[in-house]
Amino acid sequence: MKLPRGRLDKSRVVTDPRDTLADVLDRELTGYAVFESQETLLLDGEGRGVITFTDGVPVLVYHTGTDRGGPPALADLAVPGPYHVSLYALDNADLESAHEAADLRVPPGMPAERLGGDPALADSTRRAAPDERLSAMGDGDAAAAEDGPAEQSAVEAFLDDAEKIEAIKDQARSEARERAQQWEF
Amino acid sequence: MVEVFAVASGKGGTGKTTSTVALGMALADRYDVTVVDADTGMANLLFHAGLSDAETTLHDVLADDAPVEAAAYDRFGLTVVPCGTSLDGFRDADPDRLRDVVATLAEDTDVILLDSPPALDSRTAVLPIVLADRIVVVLQPTIPAISDGLKVQEYATTYDTDVAGLLFNKVRESESIEQVSEKTERYFDGPTLAAVPESERAREARRAGRPLLAHAPECEAATAYRAAAESLTVRDGAAADAADRFQSAVIPESL
């Protein structure tokens, strides 16, 4: 995925990617966010996740470490935080050609649901999404129809990555051991 | 007999309190059950159990201003120990007294459910998991909920607390929960107890300040909670040393 660099809007460390998604939606940002987990052990080399937005609504997701796009890239991104997040603002026109990559697309509510774990934020995001984004994935009860099978593939892709899950567990165990001493249980 | 379960999730919003009360009510068919709001910083069990006016709460007990009996209320066939919501109450509470609270309650009940904080970032948040014999992990079928649930499990097992099982909550029809739960089970030390569907009845119950199993006992979600309770076998703890066990609950020396 090729994107113009854009204007740096914010650069900070967040513990929960939900906060970034909520902030972008609030401010109706057009541009992209680069997520870099501080837990580099869990990522393959240069792994960074990129999410593009139009008016605050997510459009594409891509992961540089795994070279995957769309829902599987969200699974690649879902590692324990904190994350370093940089937000870049772009004009709509700058994103047009990138946004033609249909294989990198995600349903509008999926990042909030799967990365942020916040169904309410996902609902707000869907409400903010233009009709054609919702109808492109099916009509009717947008939430269920839109997010169903595609989102599930993100969870299942995550669960199929035994190595990453073992890494999450290992990290939690060593954290628990360290903190036991710190907390004087 | 007594067994203490921490009902836990790494993240908020999974419906942990609804699940704690529902499991408690379903288990109360077979056992004497006590439910404790151990989320002392963000208490909400009182709103689920119609106890928002309770005068004495766990905050008072943890501040050493009241005995635990004064904060224990009989509601819906359970003994409910709610926690207050004021900042002052939180500030004055000594979380370490939770050990004594659990030890005292353990003398006179079969099952204790601790509604635990949805976090692992402080001593207070983790203490219920340390005190419990086993945890019930409440999950939604999402990546963040499952990865946070995994962390909860690893903390628990590191501190010698076992996993009783997983409870998938707020499951939507479109989600292929069978595949997800089967794959999730590979990484957890306990089975899936039930998959509880997302439920308008649960939202109504919360607004009405009543437990789901009292508000809509026949709904699909309530049925799933009863199935979860059914598949939980409560282990016989030694009643005699219960008090001692919880007062001295520590993490294993081997660390």
Contact indicator for A153, A103 with CB cutoff of 8 Å: no
Q: How far is the alpha carbon of A14 from chain B, nearest alpha carbon, in Å?
A: 15
CA distances from A116 to A17, A41, A143, B180, B214 (A): 6, 21, 16, 18, 32
Note the pLDDT of residue A140: 31
CB atoms A152 and B150 under 8 Å: no
The better pLDDT of the pair A44, B70 is held by B70
Produce one character per residue of B11-31: b if its CB has 16 or more CB atoms within 10 Å, e if not. beebbbbbbbbbbbbbbbeeb
pLDDT at B5 over 80: yes
Tally of CB atoms within 10 A around A80: 21
**Omega into B211 within 30° of 0, i.e. cis?**
no
A–B interface: beta-carbon pairs under 8 A: 108
The average confidence (pLDDT) of chain B is 91
Residue at A163 is within a domain: yes
**Domain ranges within chain B, ordered by starting residue:** 3-231
Q: Which residues of B touch A143 (CB under 8 A)?
A: 172
Least confident of A150-154, B63-67, B162-166: A150-154
The average confidence (pLDDT) of chain A is 83
Q: Rounded CA gap, B193 and B173, in Å?
A: 18
Residue at A2 is within a domain: no
Q: Rounded CA gap, B10 and A185, in Å?
A: 20
Instruction: Tell me the mean pLDDT in the region B69-73.
Output: 97
- Strand extents, DSSP E, chain B: 3-8, 33-37, 73-75, 78-81, 111-115, 134-139, 162-171, 192-197
Least confident of A154-158, B56-60, B99-103: A154-158
State percent of chain B over pLDDT 90. Answer: 76
Q: What is the ipTM of this complex?
A: 0.90
CB atoms B144 and A115 under 8 Å: yes
Note the pLDDT of residue A45: 46
The better pLDDT of the pair B237, A106 is held by A106
The better pLDDT of the pair A24, B239 is held by A24
CB-based contacts of B64: which residues, under 8 Å, 6+ apart?
Answer: B94, B97
Note the pLDDT of residue A9: 92
Residue at A102 is within a domain: yes
Note the pLDDT of residue B128: 95
Tell me if the domain spanning B3-231 has CATH number 3.40.50.300. yes
Contact indicator for B99, B249 with CB cutoff of 8 Å: yes
- Of A143, A159, A176, which has the smallest distance from its Cβ to B159's Cβ? A176
Q: Rounded CA gap, B50 and A110, in Å?
A: 35
The better pLDDT of the pair B136, A48 is held by B136
- pLDDT < 70 regions, chain A: 39-46, 80-81, 135-153
Note the pLDDT of residue A141: 34
Residue at A51 is within a domain: yes
Note the pLDDT of residue B238: 54
CB atoms A177 and B158 under 8 Å: yes
Residue at A1 is within a domain: no
Interface of A with B in 118-157 (CB under 8 A): 118-120, 143-145, 147-149, 151-152, 154-156
The better pLDDT of the pair A2, B89 is held by B89
Query: What is the pLDDT confidence band of residue B253, given thresholds at 50, 70 and 90?
Result: low
Instruction: Tell me the mean pLDDT in the region B192-214.
Output: 94
- Of B153, B184, B251, which has the smallest distance from its Cβ to A159's Cβ? B184
Residue at A54 is within a domain: yes
State percent of chain B over pLDDT 70. Answer: 93
pLDDT at B211 over 80: yes
Give the count of domains, chain A. 1
Residue at A17 is within a domain: yes
H or E element that contains A49: strand A49-54
Q: Rounded CA gap, B131 and B76, in Å?
A: 25
pLDDT at B191 over 80: yes
Q: Rounded CA gap, B103 and A77, in Å?
A: 43
pLDDT at B244 over 80: no
- Of A74, A147, A176, which has the smallest distance from its Cβ to B158's Cβ? A176
Q: Rounded CA gap, B110 and B82, in Å?
A: 18
Query: What is the pLDDT confidence band of residue B10, given thresholds at 50, 70 and 90?
Result: confident
pLDDT at B56 over 50: yes
Q: Which domain range does residue A68 map to? A: 7-183
Note the pLDDT of residue A154: 74
Helices (runs of H) and strands (runs of E) counted in chain A: 8, 6
The better pLDDT of the pair A67, B57 is held by B57
